[in-house]
Amino acid sequence: MAAFSPTIAMNMVMNPLQRHIKEIKRRLMIVGATIMVFFVVAFSYSGLLIEWFKRPFEDDLIFYAPAEALFASIKISFLAAIVVSVPMILYQFWKFIEPALLKKEQKWAVPLFFLGLGFFLLGLVFCNLVILPLVINFFVTFGMDRDITPELAVGMYVDFNVKFLLAFGFAFEIPLVLSLLARVGFVQADVLIQYRKYAAMVALILSAVVTPDATMFTMLLMAIPLIILYEIGIWGAKAFGRVPTPVAAEQGVDDPDDVITDEPKGS
């Protein structure tokens, strides 16, 4: 019988890891190619998209630099491409975690696909109808109260809107992602509860980084929904998470069917 060498042990660890990395790269390339195709299409309609974006602001947008309007069109086209590519993004995410699921759990693909798409669109709608009008009205009114005439540059205006919309669109996926990770055994509800205060701190930091102006008003407008979504994710992890049996927990496995016993399974 051949000796079990450290090289063999390293290969047993690295080979699955390399396969996972290769699979992630392949799926990211598919997502990237999909976004690029839709970006080219959306760019031809960038004028209409900018006109639709400026609805909360009644005056005309202006631009200061020669290329500012071009970069604004690129940003808004990129946002549109991501929105249209969400079904492909969710599909690739599902196919990546599918091997870790049981056969009966794999039947959830279609409901989860539409649920994920619905959460993303809900985030966009919530941001567009509630958050952005509040933020834009707050800052414009703040300046006008001090006798300052608002003249918004198209580049900064589009950048402001795109960051908020993308952040809220993907943030609304938090409950679904946490529920799926709990279902495949990557996280557990009690761990999420334990790190609740750290999650709130991360939400504040992300809000400060993502929001264009990082004022306390805009930070809280983003951080509070993030914290609420994390709490919903905890509830989802409790409801749908895979709970190991005591014997499975002792052996470090998440699925009771994987428990090692001295008796054959057929007995």
Alpha helices, DSSP H only, in the chain? 6-43, 46-53, 68-97, 103-106, 109-126, 132-144, 154-171, 174-183, 189-194, 196-210, 216-240, 246-251
Locate the domains of the chain by residue range: 15-162, 173-245
- Per-residue pLDDT at 266: 43
- Per-residue pLDDT at 11: 54
Evaluate the CA torsion angle 47, 48, 49, 54 in order and state its sign.
positive
- Per-residue pLDDT at 200: 92
Distance separating alpha carbons of residues 142 and 158, to the nearest angstrom: 20
Quick one: which of 89, 92, 159, 86 has its CA closest to 121?
Answer: 86
Residue 157 CA, distance from chain mean position: 23
- Per-residue pLDDT at 42: 94
| pLDDT per residue as tens, the chain (267 positions) | 455 555 555 555 456 677 778 888 889 999 999 999 999 999 999 888 888 888 777 778 888 888 888 999 998 999 899 889 988 888 888 787 777 766 776 777 678 778 888 888 899 889 888 888 888 888 888 888 888 888 888 888 888 888 888 888 888 989 988 888 888 778 888 999 999 999 999 988 888 877 766 678 878 888 898 999 999 999 988 888 766 555 444 445 545 444 444 444 443
Quick one: which of 173, 213, 214, 180 has its CA closest to 82?
Answer: 173
Q: What 3-state DSSP class applies to 26?
A: helix
- Per-residue pLDDT at 130: 86
- Per-residue pLDDT at 96: 79
Measured from the Cβ of residue 228, the count of other Cβ atoms closer than 10 Å reads: 14
- Per-residue pLDDT at 10: 53
Quick one: which of 82, 65, 58 has its CA closest to 167?
Answer: 82
Output DSSP code: residue 223. H
49-56's contacts with Cβ under 8 Å and 24+ in sequence apart are 49/76, 49/77, 49/80, 50/76, 50/154, 50/158, 53/157, 53/158, 53/161, 54/157, 56/132, 56/133, 56/136, 56/137
- Per-residue pLDDT at 14: 54
Distance separating alpha carbons of residues 19 and 71, to the nearest angstrom: 38
